[in-house]
Each structure stands twice: as structure tokens, then as C-alpha cells.
């Protein structure tokens, strides 16, 4: 199984940490590319000051050919209809994670690089889990637990629980 990471951000340590987290969680091969989503302004909602995650994923899929699974990393603040925000979204063969709300500075707190990297790994592993057929888990320690708040993300682990691992579609 292969995951292609398409990053809009230039942060080698972040991308390397996410790659290692995906390998640890799912034993996948990871390939990294730089890619800006073209026409991203079409996904911007000026009233919300956020980007529609579904539109961004569709714009990406219309511009890039992927072989297996893809993960887009962006610093844009994301939402989907019905939710105030999302840390990530994975509707099909491609998922997206947003770094915006993973940074302590978003909440008016001093930066914490270790925590930021840890959160990014959890969200990446969570969205790839969806691409592998996993749904949200009721185990608060499982990476597949739904993060309604950043505290939910901080509380959960960085790998799926045993029950979730047994349900992965390959």
C-alpha cells in the first residue's frame, strides 16, 4: 500500500514526522510531493473566512493523478457543511488535513513544536484511516476517535486501536 503526501507547506521536519507516523500506524510506503491546489480561492468562503474541504479535495483530484491514496497537507482553515471546522476530511481516495488549528498560536497560546507535530501525525493517521475504510471509533484513546475539539486530539493516541486495525480494507 502506498500513500502519496502532497504538501502545500514547506516544513521538512513536519512532513518527515507525518511520513514516519503513517509508516508506524499502517506500514505503508510514503512518497512526498510539493503541490499547491490550483484555483483554491474557489473553495474560500469569505463569510466564514475558511475553505470548504470538499471543494479543495475535488480541485486537487481534478489536477493530479494519484495511484493509490493521497493526503494533502495545507495550512488553510477548513470546514465542511454542518460543522464549524474540521481538522481533516477524507471523502474517497484523497484526504486533506489542516495545520491551522493544530498550532497553539491559533488559540492564543505560545507555540509548542512537539505538540504541533504530534497533532499533525494524529490527524494524518486519522484521515488515512478513513481512506482505508475505517469509521470513527468510540475508544477515546484510538486515533480514529472523532476530534470535536483540540483537546480530543491531544487525548487520543497516534495509532488505531486493535479493533480498528482488524477492520482495515487493503
29 three-state secondary structure: strand
Active site residue 127: yes
Question: If 0-12 CB within 10 Å is exposed, 13-18 middle and 19+ buried, where does residue 107 land?
Answer: exposed
Q: Which helix (H) or strand (E) holds 33?
A: strand 29-34
Q: What is the DSSP code string of 91-134?
A: -SSEEEEE-GGGSGGGGT----HHHHHHHHHHHHHHHHHHHTT-
Conformational region of residue 36, where left means phi above 0, alpha means psi within -120 to 50, and beta covers everything else? beta
Cα 119 to chain centroid distance, Å, stands at 10
> Are the C-beta atoms of 76 and 98 separated by less than 8 Å?
yes
Of the residues 12, 127, 151, 162, only one is catalytic, namely: 127
Task: For CA atoms 37, 103, 94, 68, give the dihedral sign.
Answer: positive
Catalytic residue numbers read 127
Amino acid at each position: 500500500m502506498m500513500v502519496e503526501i502532497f504538501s502545500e507547506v514547506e516544513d521538512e521536519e513536519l512532513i518527515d514526522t507525518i511520513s514516519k507516523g503513517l509508516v508506524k500506524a499502517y506500514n505503508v510506503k510514503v512518497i512526498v510531493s510539493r503541490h499547491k491546489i490550483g484555483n483554491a480561492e474557489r473553495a474560500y468562503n469569505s463569510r466564514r473566512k475558511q475553505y470548504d474541504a470538499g471543494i479543495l479535495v475535488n480541485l486537487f483530484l481534478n489536477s493530479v493523478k494519484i495511484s493509490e491514496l493521497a493526503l494533502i497537507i495545507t495550512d488553510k482553515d477548513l470546514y465542511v457543511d454542518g460543522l464549524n471546522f474540521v481538522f481533516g476530511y477524507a471523502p474517497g481516495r484523497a484526504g486533506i488535513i489542516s495545520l491551522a488549528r493544530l498550532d497553539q498560536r491559533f488559540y492564543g497560546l505560545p507555540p509548542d513544536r512537539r505538540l504541533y507535530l504530534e497533532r499533525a501525525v494524529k490527524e494524518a493517521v486519522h484521515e488515512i484511516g478513513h481512506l482505508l475504510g475505517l469509521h470513527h471509533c468510540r475508544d477515546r484513546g484510538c486515533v480514529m476517535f472523532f476530534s470535536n475539539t483540540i483537546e480530543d486530539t491531544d487525548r487520543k493516541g497516534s495509532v488505531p486501536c486493535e479493533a480498528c486495525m482488524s477492520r482495515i480494507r487493503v
